[in-house]
Amino acid sequence: MGTVPTGVRGLDVLMEGGFPRGSTIMVEGAPGTGKTTLGMQFLYHGAAMDGEAGIYVTFEEFPDQLYRDMLALGWDLRKLEAEGLLRVISMSPDIFLEQIIDPGGLVEKLIREIDCKRVVIDSISLFRYGAADEEGHRRMLYRLRNILRRMDLTSLLIKERGTTREETGFEAYIADGFIQLQLKQQMDKYRVRTLEILKMRGRRIREGEHVYRLTDDGIRLIPARSMIEDLALLNGQEKVPTGIGVLDELLEGGFAQESVYLLDTNSKANYKYLIASVLANRVRAGDKVLALLSSFLTPQDLNKMLALQGLSMSEMAQEDRIFFIEHYTRPYPKDCEPNVMDVSGLDNLAYRRIVQEKIGTLVEGSGNWFIYYDLNTVIAERGKDYATKYFAEDSAGVKALGMTMMVLCNFSEIGPEVSAFLERTCNGVIRTWVDGAYQYMQVIKSPNGVISEPYVVETTAQAPFMRLI
């Protein structure tokens, strides 16, 4: 049985990668808990990211509001409809049932027309009124489940939960999966949204109530900590600390080996301390470093930053523990010159060949490597097309050679599409930005599924010279 990613950050890790393909999942929650958002997020990501067409069935008479709400989340449903990747069907529950039960009916025609893989029905609660009695209601749901299953559609059946606690026994029983969304009152003051997977056929699920947020780009889930610790133990991946306390806690020990991390910064944010701390910790853990610096972080800057961390760049170079790829003609600190690969005059083709060759011979059988890669520089010097064309390939290569990489990039300069692509390609993404008088830092993606709140970055007098609060 295949797996269908949910499109919701943090949710897939709770059930071994996503929904089982072809399964019928019940999503239950009170009004306003985010069921519609979850359903649309599932379809939108399926269509936009995985090229899987979806159908959204709504029993609202005029779904205009739905289009507007989703557009506010950045999801242009009309565009997907034009591309044949989405259909929003608005009809009465009775007609829908009539049509889906009919083998040559409207619904089946639509499904074939767009080669539909995912379906969301919002909501099945309205079926209740069409059925003669409870028994008829059950039989009808059972039939619907069988039809969806037969067509190998991965489906979300949304169920409204009223204020009174109704029986959920039967629906939970016939569905392959059951997800409950709740809005909980905590300590009188706070309300927190929680998601719990009560059932997922054929999957080991991560139990418990996991907190989620409704954000400007949909639902984000923050898996409960106990579960994250399990995961870290499970994959037993070696980690090297970044040296920033809170960040290492969030990343369950630091950067994982053979992974690519992206640091998204804007020009005002000070990211140099973070880079210096990460580099220093890697060097102490025995890694060798290959650095591609920018015009904003010069070799002299790095030299100073490492010195503040108690490391001598000259010594590292003499011991062949640090190498550089250099796009600019500029001086290097003492003893570093022999380890500088000057690529300033090279066209893209020659650059690519030489860098690959050189890295290959450097890295082969010589221990662990850490690459610091300023993607802004590559974009500025080699063009955006070059940078994006080879990024996925290069990160795969980096991982295959057992290396770990930190990539610096400014998402706001490269546009949302390239940013989304980079985010998908990297194992972890850390964002830092300045807003008003404060700098913030946030983990927005990590291999262990953690996403964090924004933390305020405070400068401190001693190494690592920054602290997250």
Ligand X SMILES: Nc1ncnc2c1ncn2[C@@H]1O[C@H](COP(=O)(O)OP(=O)(O)O)[C@@H](O)[C@H]1O
Interacting residue ranges for ligand X, rule: CB under 6 A: 29, 31-37, 214-216
Which C-beta is closer to ligand X: that of 29 or that of 428?
29
Which C-beta is closer to ligand X: that of 216 or that of 347?
216
Which C-beta is closer to ligand X: that of 214 or that of 231?
214
Alpha carbon distance 280, 274 (integer Å): 10
Which C-beta is closer to ligand X: that of 214 or that of 362?
214
Q: Does 41 bind Mg ion (CB under 5 A)?
A: no
The CB-of-31 to Mg ion minimum distance in angstroms stands at 7
At residue 173, what are phi and psi to the nearest 5 degrees?
Answer: -75, -45
Q: Does 58 bind Mg ion (CB under 5 A)?
A: no
The CB-of-330 to Mg ion minimum distance in angstroms stands at 58
Which C-beta is closer to Mg ion: that of 59 or that of 271?
59
User: Can you tell me whether residue 307 is helix, strand or coil?
Assistant: helix
Could you please report the per-residue DSSP string of 15-71?
GTTSEETT-EEEEEE-TTSSHHHHHHHHHHHHHHHH--EEEEEE--S-THHHHHHHH
Alpha carbon distance 329, 339 (integer Å): 14
Amino acid identity at 365: G
Alpha carbon distance 437, 56 (integer Å): 44
33 interacts with, out of ligand X, Mg ion, none, CB within 5 to 8 A per kind: ligand X
Q: Does 432 bind Mg ion (CB under 5 A)?
A: no
The CB-of-222 to ligand X minimum distance in angstroms stands at 15
Which C-beta is closer to ligand X: that of 65 or that of 164?
65
Scanning 33-41, 62-70, 86-94, 204-212 for contacts with Mg ion by CB under 5 A, the matching segment is: 33-41
Cβ within 8 Å of residue 306, ≥6 positions away: 276, 279, 280, 312, 313, 316
The CB-of-24 to ligand X minimum distance in angstroms stands at 19
- Interacting residue with Mg ion among 24, 33, 36, 427 (CB under 5 A): 36
The CB-of-28 to ligand X minimum distance in angstroms stands at 10
The CB-of-194 to Mg ion minimum distance in angstroms stands at 18
64 interacts with, out of ligand X, Mg ion, none, CB within 5 to 8 A per kind: none
Contact 247, 451 (CB under 8 A): no
469 DSSP 8-state letter: -
Q: Does 37 bind Mg ion (CB under 5 A)?
A: no
Tokens 């301390």 map to which residue?
Answer: 273
Residues 238-257 that bind Mg ion (CB under 5 A): none
Which C-beta is closer to ligand X: that of 36 or that of 446?
36
Could you please report the per-residue DSSP string of 328-348?
S-----TT-GGGEEE-TT--H
The CB-of-35 to ligand X minimum distance in angstroms stands at 3
Q: CA dihedral defined by 429, 266, 308, 446, rounded to 10 degrees?
A: -10
At residue 428, what are phi and psi to the nearest 5 degrees?
Answer: -145, 150
Contacts to Mg ion by CB under 5 A: 36
